[in-house]
Amino acid sequence: GAGVSQSPSNKVTEKGKDVELRCDPISGHTALYWYRQSLGQGLEFLIYFQGNSAPDKSGLPSDRFSAERTGGSVSTLTIQRTQQEDSAVYLCASSLVPGQPTREQFFGPGTRLTVL
Amino acid sequence: DQQVKQNSPSLSVQEGRISILNCDYTNSMFDYFLWYKKYPAEGPTFLISISSIKDKNEDGRFTVFLNKSAKHLSLHIVPSQPGDSAVYFCAASYLSGSARQLTFGSGTQLTVLP
């Protein structure tokens, strides 16, 4: 597709379960970013990939959060043993040249995660 | 510690009038500022940006002003249209290593009344 896609669009899970969120970046974009937006909050940076490696994981809120990227394309954000405070919209963005001013970050529609 | 702050969670403006959205930041290392617009159930889309070496950037109805001494930027929309109703996020970045990350404000819901 032409844009960044994310799946699922909505996910409802029970506390303690694991979830996987998927991001398909724009073809050819080498940089991939994960953000989350909690209710009433701004977008919070989680992790950044350059190719398949993640030079900056500083935003991951706890060790229950992990992410990987394979083939320089699709990325999966995994949350283990979900907690209610993990409920948020998780947004993925990609860019062609990571060091350039970030007008070139293109966002997906997000995955709304609800932990009951 | 919020490095980028949007103190007004909402703003209502009459169609045809000016909308002014404000943003303050604390990190002096930020050298590039952006505004994103977000409709419900969609990801943010880039609107306009400004480099720290400038104090104004204009694109059609949208103008961004930067006051570095006050660490303040604003987005002006003139004239405002009902289709402008959305959440507007201010974001700031600086080059760290090989990449730029965006630090976002909490957003301002703009409602343009017909």
pLDDT in tens, B93-106: 887 766 677 889 99
Low-confidence ranges of chain A (pLDDT < 70): 1, 97-104
Segments of B1-114 assigned E as strands? 4-5, 10-14, 19-25, 32-38, 45-51, 56-59, 62-67, 72-77, 86-93, 95-96, 99-100, 103-104, 108-113
Residue-level pLDDT at B2: 79
Residue-level pLDDT at A31: 86
Region B45-50 average pLDDT:
92
Residue A58 near chain B (CB below 8 Å)? no
User: Looking at the partner chain, which of A43, A56, A100 has a beta carbon nearest the beta carbon of B104?
Assistant: A43
- Residue B46 predicted with pLDDT over 80: yes
CB within 8 Å of chain A, chain B residues 3-62: 4, 6, 9, 32, 34, 36, 41-46, 49, 51
Residue A33 near chain B (CB below 8 Å)? yes
Residue-level pLDDT at B99: 67
